[in-house]
Structure 1
Amino acid sequence: MASKTLQWLSLVGIIWLQSVNGTNSNFPAYSSQLKQLLSMSQVQLNNLAFASDAGKLFGFFPGIAALYFPLWLVLVIGSALGLAGYGLQYLFITGQISSLSYAHIFLLTVLAGNSICWINTVCYVVTIQNFPSDRQVAVGLTTSYQGLSAKIYTALVDSFTFSPVTRAKAYLLLNSLSPLVVSVMSVLFVRGLNVGTGNNMKVGFVAMFVLTIATGIYAVASSLGSVSSRLPPLANAIGILVFLLAPLAIPMAEKMKEKFLNGEMKVYVEENVGDDVERIESGIKAEDDHTREDDEVCVEEIGAMLMLKRVNFWLYFFVYLSGATLGLVYLNNLGQIAESRGSSGTSSLVSLSSSFGFFGRLIPSLLESNLSRSRYMKSRPACIAALMAPMAGAFFLLLSTANISLYISTAIIGVCSGAITSISVSTTTELFGTKNFSVNHNVVVANIPVGSFIFGYLAALFYRREASEDGKCMGMECYRNTFIIWGSLCLFGTFLALVLHARLRKFYSHT
């Protein structure tokens, strides 16, 4: 049986992987510069944002690969795809490759978007396997760090670059290299372990939550204009990297604890307890197994083909489409939205959305660890509905001309879409089981490219209709109709989430 030290090391490695795996989330920070460098129209730019999400249409490939190949190989394949997708784009805009057309850029972006699915799949599978008794808490906690990716990349770029042209190149270079470097660093301990079900990990998770919350507070504070203007960019980058290294303290403390127990307590146990230890441990394990069977008695293990025939799946699919996916489309267009309103703080907005998205992804996991027995936390669809309602309000708030409304709405959409993303992992396992999770969840998130194309293309059409002859649109009219439609769709999604909650009420009453 694997030690707790290895369990926590695997979680730290997953945190690092998730921190650099949200490469598509920093697209708004350099989209305007990329538009100028490649002389693209707004529709073409939106198609590139869709292309990054379109990689998820092929997310079932890493899901299947995880069933038959070693996880380290799946991880390496994912990082290699990202290296090719972003790396070739970097070589193109730096003039080292001169034969890439727009179609090539589109396909490379699809490839880069697909690489995220491979790394995500490894992170989910390892977390669920290594923390079977606390999988929902562990998955939610690690997933939250992917919401921090844009903040991390922006902090690094701000530290070393200044001109708009250089910024776009720096983002592409970091997007191509960072996941590969971290994957190589993590490949030794991000793997499935043989763990028991009776381990008490509560103290470790409390410590991990404290460190994670501190990281989020620092990320939000350093994203605010009044603080970021006084904080040197290099100091900001160093600060965020220090917080990412801080979780290593938990496996280190666990290692010291294991040495102490092995050296001091083992003798006492063997001499004074003897054979009773085995009987006690067996009794605990049997009780834990029985408890887990009771907890999961309502969970049905089904495959992707059977899942697609279920009404609950399609309700869940469209709820996600009009919630987390719609929030992602907004964030993909954040650079153009800020530019159209005359705001020059695109980087700070991207950092703000990333930081609040981080907290959004973390909050469900934090509540799960403290209120898992509460009836208020049992129904995931009800929680999703409660999050989608303020999201709809945030879209309508964007109709206000006040500059503060842009920041408030971005923070709300970041928090809510991040929380829905985190909750969706647990929802998939509860509705369709853990056995085929790697394939099933990748089928669920296939709604992201669908929504990205439909909602993003619609926004681009409205933008182009209001644009001047040079293709640039300035003013509130650029996205007014878009925000009205997005807000209405989010309200409709809230209704669908309540319908799903009503259909699953009996299920959650027995969990």
Structure 2
Amino acid sequence: MPSPSSLQWLSLVATIWLQTINGANTDFPVYSSQLKQLLSISQVQLNNLAFASDAGKLFSWLAGFAVTYLPLRLILFIGAAFSLLGYGLQYLFLTQKITHLSYWQVFLLTALSGNGICWINTVCYLICIRNFSSYSRIAVGISTSFVGLSAKVYSDIADAIFHPENKAKAYLLLNAVCPLLVAVVTSPVIREDLNTGEEEKHGAFMVMFVLTIATGTCSFLGSIGPVSTWFGPRELVISMAFLLVSPALIIPVYAMFKGRSWDKVKKVYELSVEEGRGGGGEGRKEALKGEMKEEVGFKVMMRKMEFWLYFFSYMFGATVGMVFLNNLGQIAESRGLSNATSLVSLASSFGFFGRLMPSLMEYHLSKKGYTDSSPGIMATMMVPMVPAFFFLLLNSSNLILYTSAAVIGACSGSITSIAVSATTELFGTKNFAINHNIIITNIPIASFLFGYLAGLLYQRQGGSNSCIGTDCYNKTFIIWGCVSSLGTLLCTVLFIRTRRVCCKLEENADI
């Protein structure tokens, strides 16, 4: 029988595998143009299908309520079943196993699979938060970073197994079956409430970071044209599979170093240093800061100014970035790129590192006894998105397109990752499942508004046919850039408000 410590780390590894296949909607830009032809739909209708996956998040709060009454394993399989049903029926339709599906039936099936993502996310977030209470931001960041690899993983598998002409069918099949297969593999080891105390975990997380960064680097190198030609699709799949399995090595490594005497000496030294600095005062500050993290129910949360600042800054920041990434396929086509796979893979890889960045910052600061503000990190990561949109107006070169896609992918990924910690920081952990699923309802709202507007402007430029040229998205980039500026401003205000409270508590602790 594995020890509680081993099960704790195995559960984290399980969330990594689940998150790796839980970004099925991020591969939509790769086959969107082919799907548009197969279904004979307009650009606005195609944008609505991109929105449909996000529309499932309007009902993500159902997963938040369900975890109160149902075991995590059942929640996990409900999410996987939604993906199987939603994408599976679309696959059968495209392979003509089902004779007819209307456009709105395809829309609803896509929304159902999008809702399934929320159920799996809820399981992963709760495992990280409950099993690593003192290191939850690090655990969540490592786990969620692998969502950024989903598009790359699905692309590599599709390239290795399927013929290019069957890309749309291949992605729908993979999106349908992969979540269920991984759920079956991980369900025996997922546990919650396995927090084994406040013992030193930095060494174990360091090994996890090394393996995680190696995985992201492999993904990034596989996205670069000259490098990807050295290895065939099958070699890339084998390399990625090996690296995704490698996090399980954290268990024996952690067990081997956990009992080393130098760890104990380090703890004694750190305690003596804290006492020399006046540990009582620091402890008082920490206690007062803990009072900030009050446990807030969703009804009270929605009456707070912090909620609305957080809601709209997320909506005008990370969500606008997601809409841009959903449109990458059409943006690439309008600029003369025959294949959007490399562009989407690049954005996916940088999204991975963006999601990992907050965890690396937290890891470094926690070793020194400090912590940082989640709203502050979010505001910082929104800043580069604004010039990334406007640079697309100034230069039509492929280099600028790839650079902007990388920047927006990294920033939106980072904001999405830190948002999980921001929810607990602002409103507590007790009602996290419901609170966070309510907050992310901003994603479908923004996806519809900004995605529909992008499709409408695109269609006006190109008529009923595909639009070719930089003018197809120029007005859209202006709107997205201005909206991102507003999101940065709102998040800065949120940071100032929460920082002011923190400063007042620290002043009280010094009295």
TM-score, normalising length: structure 2: 0.91
Note the alpha carbon deviations across 1:296-354, whole angstroms, 9 max, x for none: 22211111111111111011111001111000000000000000010123000111011
Map 1:196-235 → 2, pairs under 5 A: 196-235=196-235
Q: C-alpha separation between the residues in 2 aligned to 1:380 and 1:480?
A: 32
Q: C-alpha separation between the residues in 2 aligned to 1:295 and 1:326?
A: 32
Aligned to 1:144: 145
Cα shift at 1:162 = 3.0
Letter in 2 for 1:231: F
Aligned to 1:483: 477
Cα shift at 1:497 = 1.1
Residue aligned with 1:398, SS: helix
Letter in 1 for 2:244: L
Corresponding residue to 2:435 among 433, 440, 458: 440
Paired residues of 2:138 and 2:362 also in contact (CA < 8 A): yes
Cα shift at 1:377 = 5.6
Q: C-alpha separation between the residues in 1 aligned to 2:199 and 2:188?
A: 23
Cα shift at 1:4 = 1.4
Aligned to 2:388: 394
Q: C-alpha separation between the residues in 2 aligned to 1:161 and 1:435?
A: 45
Q: C-alpha separation between the residues in 2 aligned to 1:195 and 1:502?
A: 33
Q: C-alpha separation between the residues in 1 aligned to 2:30 and 2:76?
A: 27
Aligned to 1:298: 292
Paired residues of 1:4 and 1:254 also in contact (CA < 8 A): no
Cα shift at 1:294 = 5.5
Residue aligned with 1:96, SS: coil
Residue 143 and residue 345 in structure 1: after superposition, are their counterparts in 2 closer, same or farther (change >3 A)?
A: same
Aligned to 1:274: none
Cα shift at 1:191 = 1.7
Map 1:107-506 → 2, pairs under 5 A: 107-164=108-165, 166-254=166-254, 293=287, 296-372=290-366, 378-399=372-393, 400-468=395-463, 470-506=464-500
Paired residues of 2:5 and 2:194 also in contact (CA < 8 A): no
Aligned to 1:277: none
Note the alpha carbon deviations across 1:348-382, whole angstroms, 9 max, x for none: 01110110000000010011011248899622222
Letter in 1 for 2:459: R
Cα shift at 1:99 = 2.5
Aligned to 1:271: none
Paired residues of 1:372 and 1:378 also in contact (CA < 8 A): no
Aligned to 1:25: 26
Letter in 2 for 1:149: S
Q: C-alpha separation between the residues in 1 aligned to 2:205 and 2:191?
A: 19
Please say which of residues 154-163 and 133-142 is displaced more in the overlay: 154-163
Cα shift at 1:385 = 1.7
Paired residues of 2:22 and 2:120 also in contact (CA < 8 A): yes
Letter in 1 for 2:21: V
Q: C-alpha separation between the residues in 2 aligned to 1:125 and 1:204?
A: 20
Aligned to 2:54: 53
Residue 200 and residue 373 in structure 1: after superposition, are their counterparts in 2 closer, same or farther (change >3 A)?
A: closer
Cα shift at 1:458 = 0.4
Paired residues of 2:63 and 2:75 also in contact (CA < 8 A): yes
Q: C-alpha separation between the residues in 2 aligned to 1:293 and 1:70?
A: 33
Note the alpha carbon deviations across 1:438-473, whole angstroms, 9 max, x for none: 0000011100000000000000110010014x4210
Q: C-alpha separation between the residues in 2 aligned to 1:117 and 1:220?
A: 26
Cα shift at 1:256 = 5.8
Q: C-alpha separation between the residues in 2 aligned to 1:315 and 1:504?
A: 11
Residue 228 and residue 480 in structure 1: after superposition, are their counterparts in 2 closer, same or farther (change >3 A)?
A: same
What RMSD, in angstroms, separates the aligned Cα atoms of the two structures? 2.1
Q: C-alpha separation between the residues in 1 aligned to 2:284 and 2:153?
A: 43
Aligned to 1:283: none
Cα shift at 1:196 = 3.2
Cα shift at 1:216 = 1.1
Letter in 1 for 2:98: I
Letter in 1 for 2:474: R
Q: C-alpha separation between the residues in 2 aligned to 1:377 and 1:201?
A: 16
Note the alpha carbon deviations across 1:243-280, whole angstroms, 9 max, x for none: 1001011113345678xx7xx99xxxxxxxxxxxxxxx
Q: C-alpha separation between the residues in 1 aligned to 2:158 and 2:100?
A: 27
Q: C-alpha separation between the residues in 1 aligned to 2:370 and 2:41?
A: 48
Paired residues of 2:8 and 2:191 also in contact (CA < 8 A): no
Q: C-alpha separation between the residues in 2 aligned to 1:295 and 1:197?
A: 20
Cα shift at 1:401 = 1.2
Q: C-alpha separation between the residues in 2 aligned to 1:487 and 1:87?
A: 36
How many residue pairs match? The answer is 484
Map 1:75-86 → 2, pairs under 5 A: 75-86=76-87
Q: C-alpha separation between the residues in 2 aligned to 1:6 and 1:77?
A: 23
Q: C-alpha separation between the residues in 1 aligned to 2:376 and 2:369?
A: 11
Note the alpha carbon deviations across 1:483-506, whole angstroms, 9 max, x for none: 001001101111111111111112
Unaligned runs of 5+ in 2: 262-279, 507-511
Aligned to 1:101: 102
Paired residues of 2:362 and 2:372 also in contact (CA < 8 A): no
Residue 292 and residue 202 in structure 1: after superposition, are their counterparts in 2 closer, same or farther (change >3 A)?
A: farther
Residue 236 and residue 194 in structure 1: after superposition, are their counterparts in 2 closer, same or farther (change >3 A)?
A: closer
Identity %: 52
Residue 16 and residue 141 in structure 1: after superposition, are their counterparts in 2 closer, same or farther (change >3 A)?
A: same
Q: C-alpha separation between the residues in 2 aligned to 1:507 and 1:373?
A: 25
Paired residues of 1:141 and 1:362 also in contact (CA < 8 A): yes
Please say which of residues 307-316 and 248-257 is displaced more in the overlay: 248-257
Q: C-alpha separation between the residues in 2 aligned to 1:311 and 1:226?
A: 50
Unaligned runs of 5+ in 1: 266-286
Letter in 2 for 1:190: I
Paired residues of 1:55 and 1:110 also in contact (CA < 8 A): yes
Cα shift at 1:293 = 4.9
Residue aligned with 1:297, SS: helix
Note the alpha carbon deviations across 1:179-220, whole angstroms, 9 max, x for none: 000001111111213433222211110100011111111111
Please say which of residues 379-388 and 219-228 is displaced more in the overlay: 379-388
Paired residues of 2:8 and 2:194 also in contact (CA < 8 A): no
Residue 190 and residue 433 in structure 1: after superposition, are their counterparts in 2 closer, same or farther (change >3 A)?
A: same
* Consecutive aligned runs of 4 or more in structure 1 exceeding 6 Å deviation: 287-292, 373-376
Residue aligned with 1:68, SS: coil
Please say which of residues 245-254 and 292-301 is displaced more in the overlay: 292-301
Letter in 1 for 2:326: N
Cα shift at 1:98 = 1.1
Cα shift at 1:178 = 0.4
Residue aligned with 1:100, SS: coil
Q: C-alpha separation between the residues in 2 aligned to 1:412 and 1:84?
A: 34
Note the alpha carbon deviations across 1:373-402, whole angstroms, 9 max, x for none: 889962222222221111011001111111
Q: C-alpha separation between the residues in 1 aligned to 2:422 and 2:292?
A: 13
Note the alpha carbon deviations across 1:86-144, whole angstroms, 9 max, x for none: 00000000000012111100000000000000000000111111111111110111010
Residue aligned with 1:64, SS: helix
Q: C-alpha separation between the residues in 2 aligned to 1:313 and 1:66?
A: 23
